[in-house]
Amino acid sequence: MRIDEIDSNFRSQQIGDEVIHFLDARKAPFVVEGFPWSRTDQALYRLPPHFTKNEVNEGQLRLAHHTSGGVVRFATDARYIALRASLHENCDMDHMPRTGSMGFDLYRGHGADSIHVATVKPQRDQIQIEQIIVGNEAGMQEWLLHLPLYSGVDSLEIGVSPDAMIKEPMPHRIEAPVAFYGSSITQGACASRPGNAYPAMLCREMDVELINLGFAGAAHGEMSLAEAISELQLSAFVMDYDHNPATVEPLRATHEPFFKIIRERQPDLPILLISRCDFWDYKNTEACRERREVIRRTWRHANACGDQNVYFIDGEQLFGDRHRPWCTVDTCHPNDLGFYKIFEHVLPILKQALSNHSY
């Protein structure tokens, strides 16, 4: 499909010596993923739009504007690809690269065969972005644009050369998405770029849509969100919110009930339960193990009831003893090595879970 067939009112802009035609990335043939409750004419928002403080806490309502897990997929033979975007807010943090919190990641190819080709690197106070991301001399290719892990995106346009053709991407190998619910680590802190967060790596490798419901410091196991998740058509669900309840008591009060809401609605859905990955401080080791036992108990109770589609992943094993000191930026949030170690550990378990089901 030529760009003048997509939108006769497309906007042109000259960047340097190149004329760029910009198109709304929310409209076909572009495919936006990662926002299961948002229509194409709505903002990129990760929670059901009717949610208020009656359903979840204020932190989740604010962080739902952040675009962690969101991607734009498309195919084009454009000679270059550009981006025009308005960020929702400035999220320049002291412990995380700006390329991760506010940047965009462009991959060429499909699924596990995709390769990283460019990263959009906003300046410190930059909210408006307009730039050519990459040149392309390889003809028709599939492209995957990861959106920022934080910040959020209020407007999003993809720019291409005037003679370009744009097509829909190939379908995913696994049709139904994998959803992740958890803390700032699930949201992606502190990956150097969006494509390096462990949920993004897993879903590219498995060739499946990602729904990232990581909410930094705000994932407290609200039952309203469990109800909403239970209504989604998923291929798997990953529950990873051990970090956010302030003590073991609220974790104990919410973890198994949260799991049961989803299990009762979807009795065959593979569910992965992950305990916290940071066992760094000897003063907190016993507390970490007590929290881990809460999660292990959910798994054991499910197994005792005959549930063979629930998997427990021990967070203490994710980094390994040898590499643990190298895996975080602050003894808690993973760096890229830490996220890769989580990916490496979880991948075979997710593959096993999905191999038992057809979607």
Q: Where are the domains of the chain?
A: 3-33+70-167, 178-355
Task: Confirm whether 3-33+70-167 and 178-355 share one CATH topology.
Answer: no
Q: In the prediction, which pLDDT does 179 show?
A: 98
pLDDT of residue 139: 92
Q: Is 155 buried (19+), middle (13-18) or exposed (0-12) by CB count in 10 A?
A: middle
Amino acid 167: pLDDT: 97
Query: Cα(166)–Cα(3) distance, rounded to whole angstroms?
Result: 7
DSSP class per residue in 239-293: EE-TTSSSSHHHHHHHHHHHHHHHHHH-TT--EEEE--S----TTTHHHHHHHHH
- How crowded is the C-beta side of 11, counted as CA atoms within 13 Å? 13
Residue 320: the pLDDT is: 86
Largest Cα–Cα distance in the chain?
A: 67
CB atoms within 10 A of CB 65: 18
Which CATH architecture is the domain 178-355 placed in?
3-Layer(aba) Sandwich (3.40)
Q: What confidence tens digit (pLDDT) does each residue in 258-302 have?
A: 999 999 999 999 999 999 987 655 456 788 889 999 999 999 999
**Residue 287 confidence (pLDDT):** 84
Q: What is the pLDDT of residue 282?
A: 47
- Of 3.30.9.10, 3.10.20.30, 3.40.50.2300, 2.60.120.260, which CATH number belongs to 3-33+70-167? 2.60.120.260
Could you give the CA distance from residue 351 to residue 111 in angstroms, rounded to a whole number? 14
Provide the pairing of β-strand 104-108 with 80-87.
unpaired
Q: Which residues of the chain have pLDDT under 70?
A: 1-12, 279-284, 356-359
The three-class DSSP label of residue 4 is helix
